[in-house]
Amino acid sequence: MCDTPNNPKPSQSGKFLDQDTWEALQAAGFTKDELSKDQPFGPVIFAYTRKQAIEDGVLVDLTQPGFARILALHGVRVHAAMTATCFAEVVIRELTPDTAWESLCRFGKVLQAFRIAVGESGGKTDRVYFTIDGVDDKPVAMYAHIGPGDAGEPVLTFMLEGED
């Protein structure tokens, strides 16, 4: 198939193809080999975005007031979120006006442990592991991962060890 500005290869879009688009491109004359160059496993059947995870409550958005200020004070300049399970274990079980100050203090401790772990790692990894005292004052093993967000931008996610 001829490659012109009006007829670009599907790979030039930089986006993953869904089933309908995949089939439409095949009908337009693209071969499976051409389509598979960017997507060797075929079209995306299902995707769950970070935005959806925040809306569903699976992730807690840490850019909300209070938490965002603490992130900035600790030098975090990318979008940050924490799994809801991790948030309940290390920050606060129930966020209310009465528990807000305690939750901000605990979150500050998470960020201190995170910064120490980043310093010890030399910055040559996409994740760092550390332990912090949880809500019940028992040690909780967790990690922070920096990776691509929904649009490929860098994002930071705090999780319990074993979560993904």
- What dihedral do alpha carbons 106, 109, 111, 116 form, nearest 10°? -160
Could you tell me if 155 and 79 are in contact, meaning their C-beta atoms sit under 8 angstroms apart? Answer: yes
* Alpha helices, H only, 8-162: 19-27, 32-36, 50-56, 67-73, 84-90, 100-121
Highest-confidence range of 25-29, 43-47, 158-162, by mean pLDDT?
158-162
Whether the predicted pLDDT of 27 surpasses 60: yes
CB atoms within 10 A of CB 111: 21
Could you tell me if 17 and 10 are in contact, meaning their C-beta atoms sit under 8 angstroms apart? Answer: yes
Whether the predicted pLDDT of 1 surpasses 60: no
Q: For residue 142, which of 162, 122, 124, 118 has the smallest C-alpha distance?
A: 162
Place of tokens 């209070």: 66
Q: For the segment 86-136, what is each residue's pLDDT rounded down to a tens digit?
A: 999 999 878 788 888 888 999 999 999 999 999 999 888 999 999 999 988
